[in-house]
Structure 1
Amino acid sequence: MDTNRSQESMTRLMSDDVIDLRQYWNTINRHKWGIFGFAIVITMLATLVVFSMKPVYRAEATLLIESKNANVVSIEEVYGLDAGNSEYYLTQFEILKSRQLAERVIEKLNLIDNPEFNQKPGFIAATITSAKNLLPLGVEAELSEEEQARIRLQEVTDQFLANLTISPIRKTQLVKISYDSYDSLLSARIANAIGDAYIENNLEARLQLTYKASEWLMERLSGLRDKLKQSEQNLQEYREKEQIVGNDGGFDIANSELDLVASKLVDARRERMALESLNNQIKKVDKRHPENFELIPAVLQHPLVQSLKGSVLQVELKRSELSKRYGAKHPKMQAAQSELENAQRSLHEQVLSIVNGIENEYRLALSAERSLKSAVNNTKQELQSINRKDYRLKELEKEVDANRQLYDTFFTRLSETNATGDLQSANARISDPAHPPQSAEKPKKGLIIALTFIVGIMFGTMLSFLLEALNNTLKTAQDVENKLGATMLGLLPKLAKKGGTENISYSAYLNDQQSAFAESVRTIRTGIVLSALDNPHKILCITSSVPGEGKTSLTLSLAFSIGQMEKVLLIDADMRRPSIAKNFGLSGKTPGLSNLVAGTARLEETIHKDEKSGIDVLPSGIIPPNPLELLSSERFAKVLAVLETKYDRIIIDTAPTQAVSDALVLSSHVGAMIYVVKADATNYQLAKNGLKRLNEVKAPVIGVVLNQVDIKKAAKYGGDYSGYYDTYGYTAEEKTA
C-alpha cells in the first residue's frame, strides 16, 4: 500500500510540473474575440493619434573628419592630437553633440525667435501650469532679463539637442548629422549649420592653442637658455681645475701606457722565471768543480762552451795519437799534455764566466720585474683617478647635451609655431550637404499602426491570462474533482433564454424530453440510483452555496424524471425564498409544509397533484418567523416519517448552506444530499466551505452537480462532457433539428 501511495504521489507531482500547452491554447481560444476587440480598439485610438500628429522632416548632412591634420610642418605634439586613436573620433562625436556647439548654431540662425521653438504648450502642459499657479506654492522671485534669457536659451538648447542625431558610419571617417524639424527647409539649414559650426569651432580652438603654445614656449625658452649657459660654464671650469686634456680626459693615453707596461711586465716575468730556474740549478753545483756546470743544458749549449769543448776534444785526439808513438816523458807528449790542460782550464774559466753571467742576469731580471710591477700599479692608480674625473666630466657633458637638446627642441617648436600660426587647415569638411527632404521621416503611420495592433494582441493575451488566473470559479468536472475533492454526479447544460419566458429551466425537462438538458437530468438520475442499489436513497435533499445557482431547477427536473419511474413527492423546504408553488400555479398562501408541521392543515390539504408530470407537490406554505426551528422540530421529523411510508421517493429543495443552516439541519433526516454549483460563476472556495460545513455534520453528500454549463465555452477549457448527456444521439438530433 505504501509503495502504491508513493507512486501516486510521484505521478501527481510530475503531472503538476508538466507545462500543458493545450491549456494555454484553450485560454487564448476562449478570449480570442476579446483579445481581437481590445487590439482593434487600441489600434483605432492609435490611428486617430497618428493622423493628428504633425509630420516631422529629417535632413542629413555628411561630415568627413580627417584622421591627420593637414599642416605644412609636423607640430602634432603642440595640438596634442593622436589621430590614429579611436578615442579621437569618439571625442569629435561628443563635440558635435555638445551644448556649446548647439548654442553657437542657435545664435547664428536666431532660433530663439523661430516659430518652431516658440510653440504654445499642449493641453497637458497648460493644465499642469495652471494647476501650479493655483496651488499655494509661495511667491516666486522675479527674474532679471539676463536670467530669463539664460533660461530661455537653455530651453531652446534642450529642444535643439533632443532633435539632433549624430550617427558615425562604421569603418569610415564619415559621420551623419541629422536634424528633425516640422519645417523641411529649416531641418536642412540646421544640419548644415552644425557642420559649419564644428569646423569653425575647431579652427578657433587650434588658433587659441597656437597662441597659448607660443606664449608658453617663449617662457620656457628663456629659462632653458640660462640653464644651458650655466651648465657649459660648469663643464669648462671643471676641465681647467682638473687639467683635463683631450676629449676623454687623457683616458686613452693612460690606458695605452698601462697596456705597454703590462706587456713588458709579462715579458720580464717570463724572463725572470727562466733565469730563476737556471740560477737554482747553478746553486746546486760546487764552483770548485767547474766541470759539473757542463751538465746544465743552458751552459752546455752556450756557443763559446761548445767551441772550447771542440778545442779540448781536438787536443785530446792529438794527444791520443802522440801517445801511440811516444812515451809520457817525450817532449811532444808533454807539450800535448800542457796544451790539453790549458784548453781545459780555458773551458772551466769560460764555464764559470757564463755561470756568473747567468747569476747577474737573474738579479737584473728580478730588479726589472719589480720596477715594471711598480710602474703598472702606478699606472693603474693614475687610471682610476682619470676614471673618477671622467665620470664627473661625463655627467657635466650629459647635462650640457640635455640642456642643449631641450633648448634646440623648444626653439624648433617655437619657430614652427610662429611660422604656422596663420596657416591653419580644418580637420573636417562637409562631404555631402543636407538638402530639404521631400517626404516626412516621422511618424511612420503604417508601422505604428501595425505595431500597435501587435502590442494590443500581446497585451490582450496577457490580460486574458491574468483574468484566467484571477478566475477562481468552477468550470469543468475536473475542477470539481480537483478543487472540491468531491464526486461529479453530473451536469446541466445552460439553456438559451427565450423572450418573455421566466425560469425556463423549471419546465425544460417536461417541454422537450429529447433534449440534451433532459438527457443530462436522466444521467444524474441514473447516478443517484446506482449510488445505492441495495438501500435506495428514499429522501433526497438538494442544496447549494448561495442563491441563484439552480438548485430549484435541479430539484424540479429530478422530481419530474424520477416521477416517471416512481411515486414522488416534491417538498419545498426553502421557506425563506420559496419558488416551487409559483411554478405549479399555486398561491403563496396555499397551505404547505409549515402548515402541516404546525398542525394548522391536514396532509390532504397541503399535498397537491401535478397532472402534467404526475408527481405530488408539498409547497412551503406560509413563511414562518423562524424556519430553522420548524425544520429542527420533532413534528417535522414525524411528518417526514409519515410521508416516507406513502411515497417511493421524497425530493426536498432547501436553502443554500452559506446563507442559513437549514440544509445542515435537514442532513440528519435525509438519505442523500446533492450539492449544486453554478458553472463559471461560483467561487470554488465558497463551494468548498459549504461542503466542509456539510461534512462536519456528517451529511450524506453523494455528489456535486455542475449547473448552467456553457457547453461550447466549457469545451474550450478542455472538458469532455459527452458521457453525461450525449447519449442515444439526443444531442445529434437536437443539432440536426
Structure 2
Amino acid sequence: MTTDSPNTSKTTIEKDDDEIDLIALFFVLLRGWKIVLFFALLGLAIGVLYSRYVNPTFKSDAMIQIEENTQGIAALGESISDLVGSEASKAQTEAELIRSRMILEPVVTLLNLRIKLADPNISAIDKIKNDRIDTQLNTPEGVSLESEKGRVQVSQFEVPRAYLNRAFTLTQSDTGFVLNDGFDDFEGQIGKSHRFNGNEGQIYITVNELPEESYPITISQQSLKATTDSLNSALSVVEKGKQTGIIQLSMTGKSQEQVTNVLNQIVLSYIDQNQSRGSEETTKTLTFMETQIPALKKKLENSEAVFNEFRKEYGTIDVAKEAELLLTENSQIDTQLNELKLKKADLTTYYTNEHPLVVQINEQLAVLNSRQQEIDETVADLPELQREFLKLSEDTAINREIYLTLLKNYEQLKIVKAGQIGFARIVDLPISTYKAIAPKKLQIIVLALLLGAMLGTMLVLLKNLLRNVVKDPERLETKTSVPVIATIPRSPLLSRIGKNKHASTRLLTHVDHNSLSYEAIKSLRTSLIFSMPKQANTFNEMSASNQAVVNQRGKVILVTSESPNVGKSFITANLSEVLSQLNKKVLVMDADMRLGALHKVFNLSQDQGLSDYLSEGSSRLAKMNTAALASTTSDLDIESFIRQTGIDDIDFMPRGCHPHNPASLLMSERFAQLMTTLKAKYDYIVIDTPPVLAASDAIILSQYVDKVLLVARYDKSIEGQVTYAVKQMNKSNVQVDGIILNDVQQGLMDKYSYHYHYTYGYNKN
C-alpha cells in the first residue's frame, strides 16, 4: 500500500548513501595514494631485509612405533611369563618420556651441547649481505664453528657453576690461545687439555683449532636445564593419528646437519632406555636365581650324602604299600610347598605381604602344611627304621626336583634375555633434506607489502578523520551559522593549465567560459547583487542633503579566507570579471600586502601599488598639519597607483612593495580617504585580503565594505579553522555575510554533488 512507500524510499536512499560513502572512501584512499605507496614500498623493503637477515631454519623428522606389550617371555611358556609379568605402554606416555631429562641428558653429554660458540664479528649488515650465517656443529669429538678467518673447534670446556652462561673470549696467540673471562687472561696451547684456576673455580678446556690471530670467538657453557629446555623448544613429539602407537619426532634448527645429528641421538637414547627398561624384570629374576642355585645344589648334595650313608649302613628297606602312597603324597606336597615358597620369594621382591597374590600363596601354604602334618602323624606310626628311610629318600628327591627346576628356569631366562627387545622400535631415523622450511621469503615479502599498504591506508583514513575537512555545505552552515552562498566546482581545464609551473594564471572567461565553474561565479554575482544593501555603508555620518551622493557610491566586497591556498584570489579575480559584464566599473584591490599574487592573474607588476601609496602618503601627512589634510589627496595622483588590466571596465591596484607595518597602514587616515575617493569613482570594489587566522587585515578592512565573503576550499579547509575564523571576526563585530565553497570536485566520491548548478552553454555546433 501507499503507507509502505515512504519507508521503502527512505531505505533505498539510505542504501544509496551508504554505497556513495564507500565510493567516497575509495576516493579518499585514491587521493592518498602516495602515502599508501610509500608505506607499501617501506614494508616491501623491510620484508626483503628481514628475509635475508634471518638465518634459514631446517627440519628433520623421525618415527617410532610403540607396541602394546612384549612377546619374548610369553613365547617361552606360561610359567616364565607368570614369573616375569607383562609390560604395556601408551604412545602419549612415551611421548612425554622422550622429552624428559632422562633421555635428553645423555644426548647433551655425548654431543657437548652445553658448549656454545659464537662469532661476535658478524654484524647485522653481514647477515643481510650474506643471506646465511654459519652456526656451530656439535659432535662427540667436540664443537666446531666456521668463521670468516678460519675454523674453531673445542673438544672440552667445563666451568664451575658461577661461570655458567657467562661469555668468554677465545683468541689465538703466538704460543697457542688466550681465554679471557672479562678480568683475567688464561694462556694455553692448542691441542692440549688445560686446567685454569679462576676466581670462582677451576676451568677445563681443550682447544683444537682457532682462526687467525686476534680474531676473537665467544665461548660459553650453558646450564644443563637451559640446554634441555632449548632442546625441548626445538623438539616436537606427537602421536601420529589417534591411538596408532606411532610417534612422530621433529626438530628444527639453523643447521640441517646439526638437527639431524641431535635428533638421531635422541631417538637412539630413547631406544636404549626402553630396551634397558624392558629387560629389567628378567635381569632381577636371573640375579635372584643366581643367588639360590648354589645353596640348593649344596642342600641336594648334603641330602644325597646322608641317604647314601644310611643305605650303606642298613641296606635296602622294603616299604609297605601304604607307606609308599604316603611317601608319594608327601613328596608331592613338599614339591608344591617349595614351588610356592620360590614363587613367594620372587613376588616379595616386588610386593609387600599384604598384596593379594602373596596372601593367596600364604593360604595355599597353610593348606599344604596342614595336610603334610596329617601325613607325618600317620607315618609316625611306622617302624622307626622305615620312617628314617622314607625321610631321607624324600629329602633327596625333593631337593633334586627343586634344583633341577630352578636350573631349567635359569637357563630359559638367559635365552630370553639374549633375545629380549623393548616395546618401542625405530620406524624411520632422521635424514638431512637440506631444504629450509623458514623463512618463506615470498610469503614474508608479500605479507610485508600488504601490511605496509594496510598501514598506509590506516594513516590516510586517520588523517582524513582527524582533519575533518570541509565537504558538506549544510554541516558548514550549521557549525558557523553563516550561509554558504556559492559552491564553485573545479575547472578541469584550468587545473591542467595550473599544473604547468611556467604557465600564468588565467581567468575562467579566457580558458573555460562554458564550464560549471564559470556559471557558479555568475550565480555568486547574482546572489551578491540581490543581497547588496540599497545604501552603501559609510564610516562618517552624512547629512540628508548628501543622500543622493551616498546612493551613488560603489559597493565594496571583501574576500578573505581562514588559511592560505584556498583560492580567494581566484574568486576575487573571476568575481570582478563577471561584475564588469554588467557594464559596471570595477576596481580589484590586492590588499594582501604580504603575499598577494593577484598581479599574476592580470599579468601585471606588483610595484607601485597599495602599500606604496599608503607609505608615501603617510610620510607626507606626518609633515602636514590638520588644515592641509584636505588637499593631500589632490597632491598625490591616485591614478599612478592603479593599472589598466586590458579587460573592459576592470582596473587593478596591486599590493606594492612589502611594507613592515601593513596593518598600521590600513588603519591610517590615508586609507580611509582612499576608500572615499575610490567608492565615488567605481561601481564595485573587490578587495583581496590576507587570511583571517594569519593577519588582522581583513578585520580592519571590514569597516569599509558592504559584504564580507569567506572562501573555504573543498576537501582541504579544516572545519574547525573555518569556524574559528568566523568567531574571530564576530568578536570584532564583523559579520561574515557568506561562505564560498571553492574547488568542489564533482563525482561519485562526493555525496553532496547535488550542490552543483547546471549550466547552459553554447555547443560547438
Taking structure 1 as reference, are residues 52 and 157 closer, same or farther at Cα in structure 2, changes over 3 Å only? same
The structure 1 residue matched to 2:759, chosen from 711, 727, 731, is 727
The structure-2 alpha-carbon separation of the partners of 1:556 and 1:216, relative to structure 1 and needing over 3 Å to count, comes to farther
Residue 62 of structure 2 is matched in structure 1 by 61
Shift of 1:93: 2.2
Cα displacement string for residues 565-589 of structure 1 (whole angstroms, at most 9, x for unaligned residues): 2221222333444444575634534
Whole-angstrom CA distance in 2 between matches of 1:95 and 1:126? 41
Instruction: Give, in whole Å, the separation in 1 of the partners of 2:441 and 2:458.
Output: 25
Residues 614 and 665, structure 2, Cα contact 8 Å, conserved in 1: no
**Preserved CA contact (<8 Å) 2:588 2:651:** yes
Matches within 5 A, 1:14-413: 20-31=21-32, 34-35=35-36, 38-39=39-40, 41-43=42-44, 45-47=46-48, 49-50=50-51, 55-68=56-69, 72=74, 83=89, 89-109=91-111, 122-124=122-124, 144-145=202-203, 150-151=221-222, 157=228, 159-171=230-242, 172-181=244-253, 184=256, 186-204=258-276, 217-218=348-349
The amino acid of 1:195's aligned partner reads V
Tell me which residue corresponds to 2:719.
684
Q: Where does residue 296 of structure 1 map in the other structure?
A: none
CA contact (8 A) 1:563 1:614 kept: yes
d(CA) in 2 for partners of 1:22, 1:455: 22
Name 2:705's counterpart in structure 1. 670
- Report the counterpart of residue 307 of structure 1 in structure 2: none
CA distance in 1, matches of 2:200, 2:742: 74
The residue type equivalent to 1:574 in the other structure is D
Task: Find 2:576's aligned residue among 559, 564, 570.
Answer: 559
Instruction: Look up the SS of the partner of 1:554 in the other structure.
Output: helix
Deviation track 1:499-534 (CA, whole Å, cap 9, x = no partner) reads: 4537x4464554553456544433433443354597
> Structure 1 residues 39 and 608, CA, compared in 2 at 3 Å: closer, same or farther?
closer
**Residue 588 in 1 paired to residue 574 in 2?**
no
Residue 216 to residue 24, structure 1, CA distance change in 2 (3 Å) = farther
CA distance in 2, matches of 1:36, 1:577: 34
1:176 CA displacement: 0.9
Aligned-pair identity (%): 27
Work out whether residues 558 and 705 of structure 2, in 8 Å CA contact, stay in contact via their aligned partners in 1. Answer: yes
8 Å Cα contact 1:509-1:517 kept in structure 2: no
Distance 1:210 1:562 in 2: 117
* CA 707–74 in structure 1, closer or farther in 2 if over 3 Å, else same: farther
Q: For 2:647, give the aligned amino acid.
A: K
Q: Is the 8 A contact 2:606 2:657 kept in 1?
A: no
Aligned CA distance change for structure 1 residues 659 and 48 (closer, same or farther; 3 Å): closer
C-alpha separation in 2, matches of 1:468 and 1:697 = 32
How far apart are the structure 1 equivalents of 2:736 and 2:470?
18
Greater C-alpha Rg: 1
Structure 1 residue aligned with 2:566: 549
Distance 2:348 2:223 in 1: 42
The Cα of 1:725 is off from its aligned counterpart by 6.6
- The one-letter amino acid of 2:234's match is N
Matches within 5 A, 1:335-734: 425-437=421-433, 439-474=435-470, 477=473, 480-481=476-477, 484=480, 486-488=482-484, 489-491=486-488, 493=490, 495-496=495-496, 497=498, 499=500, 501=502, 504-505=504-505, 507=507, 509-510=509-510, 512-514=512-514, 517-532=517-532, 538-565=555-582, 566-580=584-598, 585-586=604-605, 588-590=607-609, 592=613, 599=632, 601-620=636-655, 626-632=661-667, 636-637=671-672, 639-708=674-743, 711=745, 715=747, 717-719=749-751, 721=753, 724=756, 727-728=759-760
Whole-angstrom distance in 2 between the partners of 1:24 and 1:182 = 46
- Following TM superposition, by how much is the alpha carbon of 1:219 offset from its aligned partner in structure 2, in angstroms? 9.8
Change (3 A) 1:29 1:499: closer
Q: Is the 8 A contact 1:574 1:654 kept in 2?
A: yes
Please list the CA deviations of residues 529-585 of structure 1 after superposition, one character each: whole Å capped at 9, or x if unmatched. 354597899221011123443322322222122122222122233344444457563
Matched residues in 2 for 1:691 and 1:446: separation? 55
Residues 603 and 39 of structure 1: is their aligned pair in 2 closer, same or farther, counting only changes over 3 Å? closer
TM-score by length of 2: 0.55
Q: Partner amino acid for 2:529?
A: V
CA contact (8 A) 1:581 1:588 kept: no
CA spacing shift, 1:45–1:634, aligned 2, 3 Å: closer
User: Does the aligned pair in 2 maintain the 1:29–1:716 contact within 8 Å?
Assistant: no
Paired AA for residue 432 in structure 1: D
**Structure (1 or 2) with the greater strand fraction:** 2
Q: Secondary structure at the match of 2:464?
A: helix
Q: Does structure 1 conserve the Cα–Cα contact (< 8 Å) formed by 2:279 and 2:421?
A: no
Residue 689 of structure 1 and its aligned partner are, at CA, apart by: 0.9
Cα distance, 1:615 vs structure 2: 1.0
Change (3 A) 1:184 1:607: closer
Distance in 2 of aligned mates of 1:720 and 1:201: 80
* Secondary structure at the counterpart of residue 104 of structure 1: helix
Q: Secondary structure at the match of 1:668?
A: helix
Deviation at 1:422, TM superposition (A): 5.7
TM-superposed deviation, 1:149: 6.8
- Alpha-carbon separation, structure 1, partners of 2:120 and 2:82: 53
1:658 offset after TM fit, Å? Answer: 1.4
The amino acid that maps onto 2:64 is L
Alpha-carbon distance change, 126 to 510 in structure 1, aligned in 2, over 3 angstroms? closer
Unaligned runs of at least 5 residues, structure 2: 1-9, 75-79, 128-164, 170-180, 185-198, 206-218, 289-345, 367-408, 537-553, 622-631
**1:268 match:** none
Three-state SS of the structure 2 residue aligned to 1:699 is coil
- Once residues 639 and 555 of structure 2 are traced to their aligned partners in structure 1, the CA distance between those partners, rounded to angstroms, is 21
Partner Cα distance (2:455, 2:69) in 1: 54
SS in 2 for 1:178: strand
- Secondary structure of 1:541 counterpart: strand
- Residue 617 of structure 1 aligns to a residue whose secondary structure is strand
Root-mean-square deviation (CA), in Å? Answer: 5.3
Match of 2:159 in 1: none
**Alpha carbons 1:179, 1:191 under 8 Å: kept:** yes
Q: Give, as a single letter, the amino acid of the residue that structure 2 aligns with 1:198.
A: Y
SS state at 2:268 partner: helix
Shift of 1:157: 4.6
1:636–1:223 Cα change, 3 Å: closer
Distance between the aligned counterparts of 2:354 and 2:730, measured in 1?
108
Shift, 1:630, TM fit: 4.5
Deviations along 1:41-83, whole A, 9 cap, x unmatched? Answer: 533553465367655442321112234465647799999x885
Structure 2 distance, partners of 1:624, 1:448, is: 60
